[in-house]
Structure 1
Amino acid sequence: MPGRVRRCPLKTPDRPYLALGLEGSANKLGAGVIRHDVDGSSTVLSNLRHTYITPPGEGFLPRDTALHHREWALKVIKDAMKQAGVSIHDCDCICYTKGPGMGAPLQSVALVARTLSLLYNKPLVGVNHCVGHIEMGREITGAQNPVVLYVSGGNTQVIAYSRQCYRIFGETLDIAVGNCLDRFARVINLSNDPSPGYNIEQEAKKGKRLLPLPYTTKGMDVSLSGILTSTEALTLDKRFRADGQPNGPDDTDYFTPADLCFTLQETVFAMLVEITERAMAHIGSKEVLIVGGVGSNVRLQEMMGIMARERDGNVFATDERFCIDNGIMIAQAGLLSFRMGHSTPLTKSTCTQRFRTDEVHVAWRA
């Protein structure tokens, strides 16, 4: 890219490196410690998080989420260091989520990171949340150069690496897939514990009817707000049975909340599989890596697997420990950047709600 100096790819470390990662871009506060060893391997020493959970039917507001992060930050960090068996003095750097995300929660975690940096005289590394997901996914699964489907509460992107940058091939034109699922969970009053998306997935397993919904792919992009509106409208249909039970023996043309969860998942996931396959064809890749909170959805992994096998390819995904927002992914991406000589000056240790994946210089990849 113009104005950028091309660096050598990341070399094997000459000594073990340790990093503390702090994540708090949404309702999950995470802290994790990772070690990069001299043999080139990485070891997850700890990966803890605490989730702000609201009552059924309610979302999480920025102010309340930020308050949760401030209240729990000290305990989560202490427990992460204890589980790792190290102290902050042993860490080479402190990594935090710079963005994207919700403003107030991001600021709370950035403040904690700056405070630790000053107290212990440790370098800071601001990390792009999306790149954190990608690098942790690559590390855990061993995927070499995959097309990445990044699906979470705030982001939906199809990404591929080229020339030290993660290029965005396609994305949502309005709301993210996780936001779509979460908002519908509130409509049908599903619990937010452990997460609305997880409870949508469990309800969908009981669904038996596939109802018609808009299918909106536009080239490499998707649009999800109209699908959400249409699904919400079906809850007002006279055939909808909120309790999941028919009104009598003659009531055969009815559908349930489980049917709507099943329909919403199948439709939205089919759209995501389509644009991912198009990206694979474009770059000639046979690997797909699914990252982000929605990436832990087993049905999405199954559908992507069917497509990949038809192309003689492979799907790589992780479980909820690494898919759902966590501190260790921030530590991984931050330590990779730190080992290339990058750190964030204290005067620029801000955060931003809008920080695109393709704005990051991926200096550690050739």
Structure 2
Amino acid sequence: MIAIGLEGSANKLGVGIIEHASDGQVHVLSNIRDTYITPPGQGFLPRDTAAHHRAWVIPLIKRALKEANKTREDIDVICFTKGPGMGAPLVSVAIVARTLALLWDKPIVGVNHCVGHIEMGRQITGAQNPVVLYVSGGNTQVIAYAQRRYRIFGETLDIAVGNCLDRFARIINLSNDPSPGYNIEQEAKKGKKYIELPYTVKGMDVSFSGILSQAEAVVQQGLSTPERPDENKPTAQDLCFSLQETLFAMLVETTERAMAHIGSREVLIVGGVGSNMRLQEMMGQMAEQRDGKVFATDERP
């Protein structure tokens, strides 16, 4: 079976073609993406993101078919992200998927965004029955599979970790290209001083809004810059470092608790924030102490 999938739940638009071979192996034939990037200090609005997706989805479909060396006659099923995500971009891509299904006379399947991340991660990494840390711009959840269902063991009580990073990047006017989280990760490597930020873990749940508010307050008090160095004030790099360390420590704590609860030795990190190497490193140190292993996806095509 050959499936074409359309993903447009946020600012990244993707079109992929996969083949499920008779021997049970799954082959990625093409994976084309285009990201809507806004100027530094700005987020992406649903209306503008939807317009981007409408403008680029057909060219991406053509490129995906060409790269996979397939035609529409070869496609057996059309899949699309049904949700959760941003309403306007989701609708734009869903309309295209439905139109293709009618024009090509193919069946159509709506895919749950969260489950798609998890199953994709399991397929790529080979993880068997892991505790899943799902961290993205819109979601932060600790998930495990039990009794034929994915069950949420813990989640954010307010904003997602990716949203926290994105908003902080806007506060310090960091570039959105290729992504705010990636640029924070690079700046954090230059940080030398840890600034204490609120650490909020409530049972299996986490809260990030207080961390963001405190980080913004520190910025408003003034930062040390190369032009105006001040030993009594942190640099933007110090804040990036401190933010990452605090956020990720909270996520590691709740993930470890879930591992202990279900007796798992595997952790699978999925979602855009999951490609952060520092998060993978911290999670790896925890898993190693439990004789476990971490599986993670990244940004490779």
Same fold (TM over 0.5): yes
- C-alpha distance in structure 2 between counterparts of 1:137 and 1:76, whole Å: 23
Report whether the alignment pairs 1:292 with 2:276: no
Q: What is the aligned partner in structure 2 of residue 129 from structure 1?
A: 113
Letter in 1 for 2:151: R
Q: Match for 1:201 among 179, 185, 199? A: 185
Report whether the alignment pairs 1:320 with 2:299: yes
Q: Match for 2:206 among 215, 222, 231? A: 222
Q: Match for 2:36 among 52, 69, 77? A: 52
- 1:88 Cα deviation from its structure 2 partner: 1.9
Cα RMSD after superposing both structures: 1.0
Consecutive unaligned residues in structure 2, runs of 5 or more = none
- C-alpha distance in structure 2 between counterparts of 1:303 and 1:149, whole Å: 13
- Identify, as 1 or 2, the structure richer in strand: 2
**Per-residue displacement from partner, 1:280-332 (whole Å, max 9, x unpaired)?**
0000000000000000000000000000000000000122137xxxxxxxxxx
Q: Within 5 Å, which residues of 2 pair with 1:93-112?
A: 93-112=77-96
- 1:244 Cα deviation from its structure 2 partner: 4.2
Q: What is the aligned partner in structure 2 of residue 175 from structure 1?
A: 159
Q: What is the aligned partner in structure 1 of residue 18 from structure 2?
A: 34
- 1:237 Cα deviation from its structure 2 partner: 2.1
- 1:89 Cα deviation from its structure 2 partner: 1.6
Q: What is the aligned partner in structure 2 of residue 358 from structure 1?
A: none
Letter in 1 for 2:300: R
Give the 3-state SS of the residue equivalent to 1:235 in structure 2: helix
Letter in 2 for 1:255: P
Q: What is the aligned partner in structure 1 of residue 55 from structure 2?
A: 71
Q: Match for 1:86 among 41, 48, 70? A: 70
Letter in 2 for 1:138: R
Structure 1 runs, 4 residues or longer, greater than 3 Å off: 244-247
Q: What is the aligned partner in structure 2 of residue 252 from structure 1?
A: 231
- 1:163 Cα deviation from its structure 2 partner: 1.6
Letter in 1 for 2:90: L
- C-alpha distance in structure 2 between counterparts of 1:194 and 1:178, whole Å: 14
User: How many pairs are equivalent?
Assistant: 301
Letter in 1 for 2:142: V
CA spacing shift, 1:244–1:267, aligned 2, 3 Å:
farther
Return the TM-score normalized by structure 2.
0.98
Consecutive unaligned residues in structure 1, runs of 5 or more = 1-16, 323-366
- 1:164 Cα deviation from its structure 2 partner: 1.5
- C-alpha distance in structure 1 between counterparts of 2:48 and 2:72, whole Å: 28
Q: Within 5 Å, which residues of 2 pair with 1:185-196?
A: 185-196=169-180
Aligned residues of 1:246 and 1:254 also touching (Cα < 8 A): no
Larger deviation: 313-322 or 200-209? Answer: 313-322
Q: Within 5 Å, which residues of 2 pair with 1:237-276?
A: 237-238=221-222, 240-241=223-224, 243-244=225-226, 246-247=228-229, 251-276=230-255
Q: What is the aligned partner in structure 1 of residue 258 from structure 2?
A: 279
Percent identity (aligned): 73
**Per-residue displacement from partner, 1:34-59 (whole Å, max 9, x unpaired)?**
00111111100000110000000000
**Per-residue displacement from partner, 1:108-165 (whole Å, max 9, x unpaired)?**
0000000000000000000001111101100010000000000000000000001221
CA spacing shift, 1:70–1:305, aligned 2, 3 Å:
same
Report whether the alignment pairs 1:162 with 2:179: no
Aligned residues of 1:19 and 1:34 also touching (Cα < 8 A): yes
- 1:245 Cα deviation from its structure 2 partner: 5.2
Q: What is the aligned partner in structure 2 of residue 233 from structure 1?
A: 217
Give the 3-state SS of the residue equivalent to 2:220 in structure 1: coil
Letter in 2 for 1:111: I
- 1:99 Cα deviation from its structure 2 partner: 0.2
